[in-house]
Structure 1
Amino acid sequence: MIPAQIQSRTAASLAAVERALAELRRGGIVVLRDENGAAGLVVAAECCGPVAFQRLQGLAQNAPVLVTTRRRAEAIGMEIPPHIAGGMGDTNKPITLDLPAGVPVDIILRPHEQGTDQARHVALRHLSRPVASHAPRIAETAIELAKLARLLPAVVLGPLTRDPGNKRRDWARDQDLVYVDAADVLSYDDTAARNLQQVAQANVPLEGAENARILAWRPSDGGKEHLAIVVGEIDPTEPVLIRLHSECFTGDLLGSLRCDCGVQLRGAIAQIAKEGSGVLLYLAQEGRGIGLVNKLRAYELQDDGFDTIDANEQLGFDADERVYAPAATMLTRMGIKRVRLMTNNPEKIAQLSRYGIEVVERVAHSFPANGHNENYLRTKALRAGHLL
């Protein structure tokens, strides 16, 4: 039994992050502070309107700066010296850019147009040089906060003086601003996963798997829900056939041919039904964890010639932002400790093993190309290490 005091602290931590994410998505200002007293005002770059920017300028102790990843800065045409933080071998670490008066914040949204120098010239004309971050941990956490909000990893950061006395929370309340601790942001994924609770279940006969039921799991802060599709009767004393499937609105629901997600979903359910029992975990992490809107942005870059990994990185994300702690928690709470995992992705095996789930067998799970997804499948094999 988890002590009530710890439960209360955990719930408060999750709720604080969720409030901060909602505030960022609506274009509001978030006060972010780390355990050493460093602090800053954060506004998501893609949601930063003139009112929020003007207020941030008035509250910040120094001129606002633009924080993004090195790869995103280069994508809009910046030439970043190799010695600058977020160096050549670490392209998605935060990099801080001077933001002179009059610079349009939405410059970070403008891609470098292939075949012309126009976008590059615009970016170089408006953006100034990289500068040292006043608080690298705050900059890093601000980028993570934007990612959790499923926004582009780019923020306007208003520096604040150090706060060794931990009075910044009260100051934020007085200014009617949302406050969040950096430690809560950086631990959010694991904390939310540990606090998943089953909140509903129902029998849902599926095409090809009539003996199916769906279990819904929700973290204690009311955040995003994950589903377990259970087919047949599970015997947890034996290795259970399972599939980890990340949601894909375009592939699963609309039947998009750009990926193989829809056929993998339906194929997995059919295979589980054929073997008599098993579980498909439907995880709420669209677009390899970057969200639906950013996935569509990545598609646009793919139309310009980038592969799926480069497109994600051009937007400033890692090649794959998914986490599998929720999957491990759901399996553990269902009493499943040993699995036969349907996957071609070795990383899923490694992640489940990391969280204490024993993968006793990898069950191959692939489908032929359809005339539209050859490059996508080739990239998964050659660059992401997926097995055939």
Structure 2
Amino acid sequence: MSGPAAVDLAVEAVRSGRMVIVVDGEDDSATGNLVLGAGHASAEAVNFMATRGRGLIRVAMSAARLDALGIPPADTTATGPARDTFRVSVDVAAGTARGISARGRAETIRALVDPAATERDFTRPGYVFPVGCREDGLLAAAGEPRSVTLHAEAAVELLVSAGLEPAAVLCEICGVDGELAQLPELLELGGAHDIPVIGIAELIEYRRRELCRVRRAGEARIPLEAGQFRAIGYVDGTGREHIALVHGDLARAEAPLARVQSECLLGDVFGSRRCECRDSLRRSLALIAETGDGVVVYLRGPDDVVSRTPATCPRASPDLDSRNTLLHSDIRSAGDILTDLGVHAVRLLVDTADTVDLPADIAVVERVDIVADPLSDGAGRLPADRAVRHTGFGGPAASRTAVNGVVVNGTVATGTVVSGSTATGTAVTGTAVTGVAVNGTAVNGPAIDTVTRTTVDAVNRVGSAT
């Protein structure tokens, strides 16, 4: 086991139909599984697992696919994730060999990943044990060390990295004494049979890097308030789109000005005065334009970005230290974007709330302060418990009460109240909506039920702010 290089070898091995040993730690007590792509299951491979692995042979695949095949949970009384994990054992109905044999089990395994297979193609119970894996994969299971779920998720993730069908055969490795084999014995087995050995932690880091990697998706010149910029679009491994706003010639400066900023819908788009995001972004663009050469890397959030609290901005609340907080994956994506642009050293634009660090391969030679305009209304930042929830225009309402009893920016959009005080189902005291935007004003008097009812219902779903 030696980091990304070892994982690269393992990925190539499973892609070519060979086995890999995946272990759950780096100390001598670590245990491991033989892993093989289910589509490559042969009688010889199953026999090797049975005679050298000696543990239970399982097939890890999507829980949704197992549901479609009508393979129920082994314990129907179980609740939570365990219910979907362990399934009733199966055999292929039209097998040419007895189910317990290596050939019979190989036929069943291949049938499980046959896209044409249906519930009628299997009998149960049988000799192959399916394990359902969650949709969010290994990274979600990373907090479950040395569990069956973690091993199953790691096996599937390895197949995904190899570009294969996300279904893996795995077998817990036991020693000749019948006890679980530990790391020294696992390394010996791998060496004797030329089987790559990798750790789950290495695979997790490898997958994180893969998902953060970006590719260029397009480019256009756009006139901004600060000047003429090039907008270069990028897409990462999760499908999120990021933007680099480039001014001048980045190759002209040894360390151009650079700003890395995470998306804040209310601040950047609607000009919320509960955070400094818009001011920081505008000042960064202006400083870069004045200097001549530089880039703003603008990192988009997930699809449900507006559901992130507080107020869709990670800097909008003292409860979150008011920082331009970036996820590990965001930082890696930012580094990859800068590298793609040929930037290896920067003068990093920061404000007093920032705690941004770039990957080690991007040198920060200087941190340049952005002097952002202070909040002028004295209202402070929007508390975390009054965050606006994601609905989009035309959707239900957001927070139940307004900060200090006033409407934030007085904004209402197509039936979606951003903030305001609402009486359940009957009236809107001080604030009403007519289905069009009302900027800075409120309509007093009783509300119109046909307009407010969906708003009130949505407010009740979000819950009261305290």
TM range (shorter): 0.3 to 0.5
Q: Which has the larger radius of gyration?
A: 2
**Larger relative contact order, structure 1 or 2 (CA cutoff 8 Å, min sep 6):** 1
TM, length-normalised to structure 1: 0.48
